[in-house]
Structures are given as structure tokens and as C-alpha cells.
Copies of this chain bind each other. A is one copy, B any other.
């Protein structure tokens, strides 16, 4: 995610020695842990530092403030998700519409639910964070990835591919989050996921796929 972060959210300095690289990693990990175990209103710089096994001061060497830490964390996470979806899309170039939809739904769903507590924690950390730039960049990346995939379909000819594409993504991303947040039994989650894929496929077919 190379969205230029809002000025004030820039990291303070980059780790140069192996020691500090480890420190920064520990801080990220600790942030997730605290978020998970204590919730966002108990996510304290001191607590994070403590769990990371460093002192508060150290944290402030790399992040100018708490928000910057959370920003960086979200950036990292979205990057992982984006990469996985992109890879899944690339793998389907020239494939059938059916394979494309299946791959897209599966890739996104898994990326989000594999470590669902972490995902949940990050959703929470993002509230009240100026991360519009992050979300935008993510959306654009996903848009480009799926668009390229759809265009490579040998048997498809969409009337308005932009609209079809943005709809597809909105529906998939939205549904995943909704199911995810309702914390339904996993059997039901799986069933819905299948239905979703079916629904998207018939939508694409009807739209020229």
C-alpha cells in the first residue's frame, strides 16, 4: 500500500540495525495482541511497549504517536490481503468466468477469515483513524486486479465493465464483512459463501460474461 500517508502519520525513522528491525516487528505483534486481549480502549502505548518487551520511549523512536502505529499496522495488513487477491486474480487470466468468480470469492474470504480475530482487531483499530487514503489505495488495487482478470476472459463481453466490476467488489467485500461480523456458525458461513459465488456468477453471466 504505497498511499502517501497523511503527513502527520509518517513513521519517525526507519530501523537500520537488525536489533531495531526486531523491535519494530515485536511492536506490531504486541499491538495485535493487546488489541485482541484488551480491546481498543485499553490499547495503551505503555501496554503495547510492555507486551513487546521494550520501553515506551523505544516505541516513540519509530512512531511519532499512537495513531501512526495503528496506521502502519493497517497498512501492513491491507498489503497482505491485497497481494493475495492479486495473486489469485493473476492465476485466473484467460480462465472461465466461473473459475474467476470462485477464485476471487475464495481468496478474499480466506484472507479475511483465516485469522479472524486479527481481522476483527484491525477493523476496530481502524475506527477513528484517518485511513481513507489506505482504503482508497486498497480499493484501487483490487479494482485493477479484478478488472484485468475479467478483461482476459475469452468468452466475455461486458456492456459496462466498470460498473460490473465495482458492483462485484462491493458485493463480495461487503458480504464477507457482514457474515464475518455476525459471527455465524462456520457451517452456515460456508453455505453462504457458496451461495455468494453462485450469485456473483449468475450476475456476471447476465451482464455479458
Contacts and interface: CB of A to CB of B under 8 A. Distances in A.
A203 to B, nearest CB: 4
A39 interface: yes
Contact of A174 (B40, B135, B164, B174): B174
Interface residues of A, number: 37
A202 B196 contact: no
Contact of A173 (B178, B184, B199): B178
A46 interface: no
A192 B178 contact: no
A35 to B, nearest CB: 10
Max count, chain B CB within 10 A of own CB: residue among A135, A139, A199: A199
A55 interface: no
Nearest to A191: B163
A139 B170 CA distance: 21
Given A167-B196, A195-B163, A202-B202, A135 B182 contact: yes
Nearest to A42: B128
A59 interface: no
Contact of A202 (B182, B191, B203): B203
A99 to B, nearest CB: 19
A41 interface: yes
A4 interface: no
A9 to B, nearest CB: 15
Given A39-B128, A170-B192, 8 more contacts: A135-B181, A163-B195, A164-B195, A166-B184, A173-B178, A174-B177, A175-B175, A199-B200
